[in-house]
Chain A
Amino acid sequence: MEKPKLVEYKRPKHINDYPTGPTTEGGKLVEKNAGWRTYKPVVDKEKCVNCLRCYLVCPDGVIFKSEGKVDIDYDFCKGCGICEYECKLDAIKMIKEDK
């Protein structure tokens, strides 16, 4: 599976460290979105039948296929709760984040 990746970002020190014009390599991320979340989705692997509805409709694409079930990339999940709402088997629960 390929997707945009977190990379280490160093602020340019010299003007020549900037790209020539606003053009740069795609799919490079410098920060996570995890901090946006109040609730986080947790998958109950016993209940999940791998229908992949949640995977299909996730706005952030953070639900991925894993060993015949689904898993979640918590670095980029914003906690919108669509996956829990759309799961017909109650296999995903939104749980309050410990702050």
Chain B
Amino acid sequence: MSNNKCFVSGDEAVALGARLARPNVISAYPITPQTIVVERLSEFVEDGSLEAEFMHVESEHSAMSAAMGVSSVGARAFTATSSQGLLHMSEGLHYASGARFPIVMMNANRALAVPWSIYGDQSDSMSQLNSGWIQVYVEDAQEALDMTIQAYKIAEDENVLTPFMVNLDGFILTHTYELLNVPNQEKVDEFLPKYETENKMDLENPKSLCFSSTPLDNLEFKYQQHMAMINSKEVIEKVDKDYGDKFGRYYGGLIEEYKCDDASVLLVTVGSVTGTARVVVDNMRSEGIKVGLVKLRYMRPFPEEKIIELSKNVDKIGVIDKNISHGYEGTVFTHINSALSKMNNSPKTINFIGGMGGRDISKEDIKDIFKSLLKTTNEDKEKTVQFIGMGCEIDE
């Protein structure tokens, strides 16, 4: 089998990627818009194209707990969730990273209730940044498939041993069909060999896992976990390069710079909105306007060094957030500002909150954002946090 082309949705792309990664056990609970991932995987197990156990768990909490059980004996675990389900397994997220179990999970980014909404935004995963998981945000279905494979390679690296969350914008990516290149199994097997680890229960050499520590040792275990996440930066860059060399698709590692050279203003995007912003940047560039785009691929580890480097010759940076920490600002914005605080003469930053609960962020919205970034205004008067696409008037 050589590279296959196929026309599938983002959810199906994740399922294809997961199958290629040969997980031993899939434990999952259905939630819109993740469901197609686990439906396809259960079909693959049924038709024999994936040799794995499929566990029908009764909740997301159990999906994650079962995945930890799987990983605790050195087997490869896969699960997928979204929104309320991600929050329901939040206890397990911290647990899995503390235990250093390299579980891979797809998360379909979806709004959090209430108001109830099945549609997309990134409030769910952004609320779990402190859970100790690596978080990547993809732009399209191809990247979703490729990252599901890369995820295991990164998570299982002996210097990382940290669980990995592949985030796809709900509906915009999960349910949109694209023509994909599907790598062939032999090449994926070469790229991603069987998971071998000492961090497991072993009948020949019995272990105690997930033990308690007193205040004498707790900080040291947490420091290790922190360092593992820091180590993952280098591993992410290397795996992206190796993957590109083998399969012909490079994603830039922690971030992708798009037309940032000589740009006076930059826009930082996370996830599918990057695709829209690319078109706007191309259009504006064709008019001679020097704007650039930073596709922030990873929120954990956070690529602060790269952000600082890119910001050196820039006047202004806009940050789109499809989430908000109520009463303050978007989470991505906070992170960008924190990185910039470590440089001298940092550029002015503006936060644009939008795309909440499935609201569209249009090309016009992004063009307006760039225009406002380019405007020379009295900076003291410019609002730092702005809402885009508001459907009614608000009091300023």
Beta-carbon contact of A20 and B198 below 8 Å: yes
Mark contacts of A1-27 with chain B using CB atoms, 8 A cut-off: 1 yes-contact digit, 0 otherwise: 000000000001001001011111111
- B207 on the interface (CB 8 Å rule)? yes
Q: How far apart are the CA atoms of A94 and B210 in the complex, in Å?
A: 38
Q: A12-B220, A15-B223 are in contact. Are A22 and B210 (CB under 8 A)?
A: yes
- Of A18, A20, A24, A27, chain B has the most CB atoms within 10 Å of the CB of A20
- Provide the residues of chain A in CB contact with B220, threshold 8 Å: 12, 15, 18
Residues of B within 8 A of A21 (CB): 98-100, 161, 199, 221, 224-225
A: number of interface residues (CB 8 Å): 11
Chain B residues with Cβ below 8 Å from A15 are 220, 223-224, 227
Taking the closest CB of chain B, its distance from the CB of A52, in whole angstroms, is 26
* B 215-238 contacts with A by CB, 8 A: 217, 220-221, 223-225, 227
Q: Which chain B residues border A12 with CB–CB below 8 Å?
A: 217, 220
- Considering only CB atoms, which chain B residue lies closest to A25 in the complex? B207
Residue of B198, B207, B210 ringed by the most chain A CB atoms within 10 A:
B207
Pick from B211, B225, B227: contact of A24, CB under 8 Å:
B211
Flag B184-203 by CB within 8 Å of A: 1 or 0 each.
00000000000000111000
Identify which of A18, A22, A25 contacts B206 (C-beta below 8 A). A25
Residues of A contacting B221 in the complex (Cβ-Cβ under 8 angstroms)? 18, 21-22
Residues of A within 8 A of B227 (CB): 15
B286 neighbours in A (Cβ, 8 Å) = none
Question: In this assembly, does B2 line the interface, its C-beta being within 8 Å of a C-beta of chain A?
Answer: no
Given the complex, which residues of A lie within 8 Å of B223, measured CB to CB?
A: 15
B377 interface residue, CB < 8 Å from A? no
Verify if B205 is at the interface (C-beta below 8 Å from A). yes
A20 touches B207 (CB 8 A): no
> B209 an interface residue at 8 Å Cβ cutoff?
yes
B98 to chain A, nearest CB (A): 7
Q: In the bound complex, do residue B224 and residue A18 qualify as a contact, i.e. CB atoms below 8 Å apart?
A: yes
- Are A23's CB and B161's CB within 8 A? no
**Contact in complex: A23, B207 (CB < 8 Å):** yes
Q: Contact: B206 with A20, CB < 8 Å?
A: no
Output the nearest chain A residue to B159 by Cβ-Cβ distance.
A20
Question: Which residues from chain A contact B205 at a C-beta distance below 8 Å?
Answer: 25
A18 to B222, CA, bound (A): 11
B4 within 8 A of A: no
Interface pair B161/A20, CB less than 8 Å apart: yes
Contact residues of B between 155 and 212, Cβ < 8 Å to A = 161, 198-200, 205-211
Which A-chain residue is minimally distant from B200 (CB atoms)?
A: A23
Give B328-362 interface residues, CB cut-off 8 Å to A.
none
The 3 closest A-B pairs by CB, nearest first: A21-B100, A26-B206, A26-B208
